[in-house]
């Protein structure tokens, strides 16, 4: 292993690289590098408009596990999202424990598809935002930071041939207890391989969506 790599650098407990090779460590130490520098692997759709046009929510997942390199990329994608003042006013809770996933199902109105191979809970962290603005503005920024980050991860999951379901309907207080935080959760992103890929859903007509302001 390359001695120059500081093994004490900051990966969270439980997310330590298993692969001891120097390359892998370098990538994992800099999550963003893992999406910017890592070579595209097979089965990755790198055309962003195609990813957007083909992404669909899934509520039926297979039990196939998600490869670690894909999880790295999904997490790294969140970290590339723009945030207010670049203060990154959000946190991600990567839930791996099966019992906790079961509890999250219950906290989310018994939506069974919450229990997927990869469950990410995105939370606001307004205290990170060191801008001298009124409290309500800071709170709004951190909701936006957290939501944008989840959206980036959702697109990344799609690009990697995975599917996801965004969960916004849950009891916030129960979720806080389950994941062990005081931070306010904004959404879960539940990710896995779909049993079946579905075609895109129809949207409203452009004239209802776009308002031209001259």
Ligand X SMILES: Cc1cc2nc3c(=O)[nH]c(=O)nc-3n(C[C@H](O)[C@H](O)[C@H](O)COP(=O)(O)O)c2cc1C
Interface residues with ligand X (CB under 6 A) are: 56-57, 111, 165-169, 201
Q: Which is nearer to ligand X, 34 or 154 (CB)?
A: 154
Which residues fall within 8 angstroms of residue 187, CB to CB, at 6 or more apart?
121, 122, 146, 147, 150, 166, 167, 168
Smallest distance, ligand X to C-beta of residue 127, A: 23
Q: Least distance (Å) from ligand X to the CB of residue 111?
A: 6
How far apart are alpha carbons 69 and 2 in whole angstroms? 21
Q: Which is nearer to ligand X, 44 or 151 (CB)?
A: 151
Min dist. Cβ of residue 41 to ligand X (A) = 25
For residues 199 and 178, what is the distance between their CA atoms, to the nearest angstrom?
34
Q: How far is the CB of 214 from ligand X (least distance, A)?
A: 31
Answer yes or no: are the C-beta atoms of 112 and 101 closer than 8 Å: no
CA-angle at 99, arms to 94 and 105, nearest 5°: 75
Residue nearest ligand X, Cβ-based: 168
Closer by beta carbon to ligand X, 34 or else 142: 142
Q: Give the Cα-Cα-Cα angle 90, 95, 100 (nearest 5 degrees).
A: 125
Cβ–Cβ contacts within 10 Å for residue 161, how many? 15
Which residues have CB under 8 Å from 38's CB, separation 6+? 27, 69, 73
**Residue 177 in tokens:** 């207890």
CB of 1 to ligand X, least distance (A): 42
Q: Which is nearer to ligand X, 100 or 198 (CB)?
A: 198
Minimum CB–partner distance for residue 14 and ligand X (Å): 26
Closer CB to ligand X, 10 or 202, in the complex: 202
Decide whether 28 or 101 has the Cβ nearer to ligand X.
Answer: 101
Name the pairing type of β-strands 118-124 and 185-192: antiparallel
């Amino acid at each position: 292993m390359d001695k120059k790599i500081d093994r004490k650098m900051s990966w969270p407990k439980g997310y330590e690289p298993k692969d001891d090779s120097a390359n892998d460590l370098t990538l994992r130490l800099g999550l963003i590098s893992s999406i910017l520098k890592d070579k595209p692997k097979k089965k990755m759709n790198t055309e962003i408009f195609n990813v957007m046009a083909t992404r669909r929510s899934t509520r039926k997942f297979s039990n196939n596990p998600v490869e670690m390199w894909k999880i790295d990329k999904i997490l790294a994608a969140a970290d590339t999202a723009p945030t207010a003042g670049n203060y990154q006013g959000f946190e991600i809770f990567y839930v791996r424990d099966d019992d906790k996933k079961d509890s999250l199902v219950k906290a989310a109105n018994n939506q069974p598809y919450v229990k997927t191979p990869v469950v990410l809970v995105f939370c606001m962290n307004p205290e990170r935002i060191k801008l001298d603005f009124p409290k309500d503005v800071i709170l709004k920024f951190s909701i936006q930071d957290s939501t944008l980050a989840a959206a980036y991860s959702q697109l990344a999951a799609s690009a990697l041939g995975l599917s996801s379901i965004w969960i916004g309907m849950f009891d916030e207080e129960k979720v806080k207890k389950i994941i062990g935080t005081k931070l306010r959760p904004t959404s879960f992103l539940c990710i896995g391989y779909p049993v079946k890929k579905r075609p895109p859903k129809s949207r409203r007509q452009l004239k209802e969506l776009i308002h031209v302001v001259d």
